[in-house]
Amino acid sequence: MINENESKNEKLFTKPVRDGIVEYIEIDVDEYDFDGFQVVMREFFSKANCPAITIKYGSIVSNLCAIRKLDECSHINLLINMQKKLLVVKPCDEDAKDSFQWSRINNKDTLKAREITGWYFTYRLYDDMKWNKDGIMKMLGTLLKCRGEKIFVFNLIDAEAYHFPPETSADDTKRRKRVPYMPERWQTIYGQSYEESKKPIISTFGEIDGFVPITIPKAPSKKPIDTEKNKHNLFNSSENVNKEETEDGTT
């Protein structure tokens, strides 16, 4: 014999059908407890259509998604805070101090990203972050609005590295093999806690302490890079670990 509690539960989770349309049960609650939950990081999924910047030893370039989200501005300032390991992209006028062009319109009237040569900047950044110069670093950005102005914030700690060994891809012999690396701490988390994810990365742009604009110096003459040094890892070996090899980079 079914007791009263079992009868109520069965009634609660039944999906009644009326005129061939399934009516799903909705339960109203005052508040849901997200304690203990983590917001899964975007980096664990395909990065297609995600705003990102890519830094190589010698240059920096953004993707079109980031440029479009900043209203297709042509010139930006870079601001960096090495204490917080944050990089900020801020739109500016062409004639503003320390501005440089990160996008252009080609002769077909199409928006294109512009790769910026910056040997001194990347040399210092790779050295400060203990990145291996053979690695290509990629990080996703967070779009913020500060006093009506849009900016992108990139967390340098969450940079992924890609290495291209002198081998062809198993799936496509015309392409070089690509090996992705990730920060070691990602192996023990899915992302920030729900409460941490709600905290602002910065308050207002005018109140960011420790940020200074990056001056892009003139590029020196190109010299061969010694690739025999520091080949043990693309990151600092004490902080990062080799990720499983994938070919499409959609990790």
Three-state SS letters, the chain: CCCHHHHHHHHHCCCCEECCEECCCCCCCCCCCCCCCEEECHHHCCCCCCCEEEEECCEEEECHHHHHHCCCCCEEEEEEECCCCEEEEEECCCCCCCCEECEEECCCCCEEECCEECHHHHHHHHHHHCCCCCCEEEEEEEEEEECCEEEEEEEHHHCEEEECCCCECCCCCCCECCEEEEEHHHHHCCEEEHHHHCCCCCCCHHHCCCCEECCCCCCCCCCCCCCCCCCCCCCCCCCEEECCCCCCCCC
pLDDT tens digits, 49-105? 899 999 999 999 999 999 999 999 999 999 999 999 999 999 999 999 999 999 999
- Out of 89-93, 127-131, 159-163, 201-205, least confident range: 201-205
* Distance separating alpha carbons of residues 157 and 129, to the nearest angstrom: 8
pLDDT band at 250 (very low <50, low <70, confident <90, very high): very low
For the full predicted model, state whether its pTM sits above 0.85: no
* Distance separating alpha carbons of residues 43 and 52, to the nearest angstrom: 11
pLDDT band at 24 (very low <50, low <70, confident <90, very high): low
For residues 101 and 230, is the Cβ–Cβ distance under 8 A?
no
Report the pLDDT value the prediction gives residue 90, as an integer from 0 to 100. Answer: 94
pLDDT tens digits, 118-142? 999 999 999 999 998 888 999 999 9
Mean pLDDT of the chain: 76
- Out of 7-16, 66-75, 238-247, least confident range: 238-247
Report the pLDDT value the prediction gives residue 242, as an integer from 0 to 100. Answer: 45
Q: Using the predicted structure, report yes or no on whether residue 3 has a pLDDT greater than 60.
A: no
Q: Which two tokens stand for residue 45?
A: 């999924």
Mean pLDDT of 190-206: 61
The domains of the chain are located at 42-242
